[in-house]
Structure 1
């Protein structure tokens, strides 16, 4: 137990100690400035200096957006055909008072889904009644496939619940041991005051004191932490937060009996064609994730506050679809169609899951977007897995491979994005990022990305969720300055203009394993706005410019 405690503590403090300071705008910088950014600042200062672009609408299908944020509000999409708060569907699109977008995980009474289950839990629950006592020897055809899926989901859910329970118990033990170690440190300090300098002077090298010193030094560096009582309180707050995360998994994410959908949304969930449900609360109870994503795409540039988004001539449409749990395929499909019907030319999707309830309905929506020339940008996922061999949904596969004359079909209006680190060389790929030479198209900055947070705040976050909106922003710039390019042409310009990354890199999720970066994605490179603009400039547009007003 002591060794486990030491590993946990040293792992957590060590990550804080080695965390590097990076410029807040590093992902916009050029390589000549020392960081492998996307050369956005260079592009605006050089080739776009005197150019004027058209306004582009980017839909953010996510957890919601703080539309009143100081650095976002001027770039929020407004449905000009809708009269606010009059309780009517003025524009006849099927949604009442959808002034800033729509919320597909809300109820008619204004309530909203917060926590929800994971898709694997829903699939386990879906088939449990059918296969719980089934005799596998008597199954045939599709039932065998369903039964195999059921067993896989059942095992995953039960393991996850066991792990969550054990982690809660473990955290209680860790709390006790930390407090005991800190008491021992207090005795060593004696009459000396609790300061960083005095803690560093303690020479005892026992495991308990070493742990206590690491913890004390970590927390004393934080504002408002001055006494041993402050340290213990701060540690307990962190531990309680972790305990809540695991308890939420038991109560919600992996709980087959939890059905917030029926209680709040009250749609006919079994009817995948139904679209007239939800409400117009585009922020929801926790818009943190969506707000951060939105800022990366299009926070107001050069206004002296916050940060600059990748795209300038942009309006951000909030389509709330992602709860604290897995998004549902029905909602994703409806969100895509809503975005398309209301003028979005780019859709960012920073979400994903390992199972799909109804992939077909999402595929149809992706094809609908393609038909209307809408580009879709999707985060590859944070499971550190090879998606060439492990499922990740949604994806661009819209038709499975059939017999000899029936090859698989992939959406041509789809870009799948992996995440890059701010570090170079072997650590260039974010340690959490999914990858795949066939399934991931390119990589983009996704570690220590500074962007907007609810309530006029800002923070660094990481994930392929941050890498995807960087690419969506690049696409928005191209569609702004080259409006005659189709979605497929925009994708082509982005893909063919990546900056290659040479050499061997650490493979996410595989300890002590390295691979040529070129083998981790289709392009083997990083998105670059400057290069993409040059590539777009050489193309002959295939699209007629639509003059129809689509929003402000």
Structure 2
């Protein structure tokens, strides 16, 4: 599978991705390092002791710039990156940015990817809390793009405890959650490791899972792969990515319901109440007789012994 990384670029010199990176333009250089980190989570292959392995370590990476060389993204660059990635054969398109503008432009790019049967995966929120108009951190949950577009699989992060860090940006109705706190990954070159956090890294894990499923079952469409990831996810307030279940679960056909196509069940009529009432009356009468006989066994001998005289 080919996974496009629409981000800051991907370092072609990274040992973990050696020979599997195709870059468009200047995207083979990654001065910021974020795109290389995400690509390693998606498709990094082991290179020695302590190496980080990605979810789909045999996948190919198509590096596409969605930012300038300093890591500043825009809706125009991301939209162009998505369209270019699809035109160059990407089956899964990972977008490493969460933008607060450009919904129309990005919606057209995602629709184009959908028409080409490519699955777009994006973070549900940025990795750091954005500043508001007053210059202070804005912690409100809001829509970000392209994650808010219906065809996009939007992903939020969670940490080792299963919850999101308290200082993480608020997310609004993500489709899925995946590991994204204190994640270890690769850099654009060399064998060193880095640590990062955020929904963008959770989205990278999910993009790797999508590539793995598409390689295992190549007849599945992008929509079917998305459905597998969502319906096979670990149940929680936000379903959590389960790569193994996504690969192995057998889902019912779309649109079926329990018992569809079978004859309705016919329940037997309720049992009549008369026999039950008669049984209760007979049982109650028998109990009364037993109690009377028991009392007679105790009382009669004593009465005869006193010749039925009253006790002193």
- Larger Rg computed on CA atoms: 2
**Aligned partners of 1:333 and 1:362 also within 8 Å:** yes
Matched, 1:310 2:55: yes
Residue number in structure 1 paired with 2:37: 292
Which of 231, 248, 271 is 1:496 aligned to?
231
Change (3 A) 1:448 1:364: same
Which of 119, 126, 137 is 1:375 aligned to?
119
Q: Deviations over 1:153-197 (max 9, x none)?
A: xxxxxxxxxxxxxxxxxxxxxxxxxxxxxxxxxxxxxxxxxxxxx
Q: CA deviation at 1:73?
A: 1.2
Change (3 A) 1:539 1:483: farther
Q: CA deviation at 1:289?
A: 0.6
Which of 347, 350, 357 is 2:96 aligned to?
350
Residue number in structure 2 paired with 1:443: 177
Q: Secondary structure at the match of 2:194?
A: strand
Change (3 A) 1:325 1:450: closer
The structure with the greater share of residues assigned to helix is 1
Which of 101, 108, 118 is 2:23 aligned to?
101
Residue number in structure 1 paired with 2:170: 434
- Pairs aligned (count): 241
What is the correspondence of 1:478-489 to structure 2 with a 5 Å cutoff? Answer: 478-489=213-224
Partner Cα distance (1:379, 1:474) in 2: 15
Runs of at least 5 residues in structure 1 that lack an aligned partner in the other structure: 1-55, 77-99, 103-279, 398-409, 502-517, 519-523, 542-552
Please report the TM-score for the alignment, with normalisation by the length of structure 2: 0.72
Q: CA deviation at 1:430?
A: 2.8
Partner Cα distance (2:251, 2:177) in 1: 23
Partner Cα distance (1:301, 1:478) in 2: 20
Residue number in structure 2 paired with 1:420: 158
Partner Cα distance (2:87, 2:114) in 1: 12
Residue number in structure 2 paired with 1:472: 207
Matched, 1:69 2:14: yes
Residue number in structure 1 paired with 2:310: none
Change (3 A) 1:325 1:337: same
Change (3 A) 1:330 1:459: same
Task: Compute the RMSD of aligned alpha carbons.
Answer: 2.2
Q: Deviations over 1:38-67 (max 9, x none)?
A: xxxxxxxxxxxxxxxxxx000000101111
Q: CA deviation at 1:359?
A: 2.8
Partner Cα distance (1:526, 1:393) in 2: 21
Q: Secondary structure at the match of 1:307?
A: coil
Matched, 1:460 2:204: no
Q: Secondary structure at the match of 2:3?
A: strand
Runs of at least 5 residues in structure 2 that lack an aligned partner in the other structure: 130-137, 255-312
Q: CA deviation at 1:433?
A: 4.1
Partner Cα distance (1:296, 1:281) in 2: 21
Residue number in structure 1 paired with 2:246: 532
Q: CA deviation at 1:361?
A: 2.2
Please report the TM-score for the alignment, with normalisation by the length of structure 1: 0.41
Q: Deviations over 1:88-137 (max 9, x none)?
A: xxxxxxxxxxxx222xxxxxxxxxxxxxxxxxxxxxxxxxxxxxxxxxxx
Partner Cα distance (1:430, 1:75) in 2: 34
**Aligned partners of 1:385 and 1:435 also within 8 Å:** no
| Structure with higher RCO (Cα < 8 A, 6+ apart) | 1
Residue number in structure 2 paired with 1:341: 87
Change (3 A) 1:481 1:540: farther
Q: Deviations over 1:216-256 (max 9, x none)?
A: xxxxxxxxxxxxxxxxxxxxxxxxxxxxxxxxxxxxxxxxx
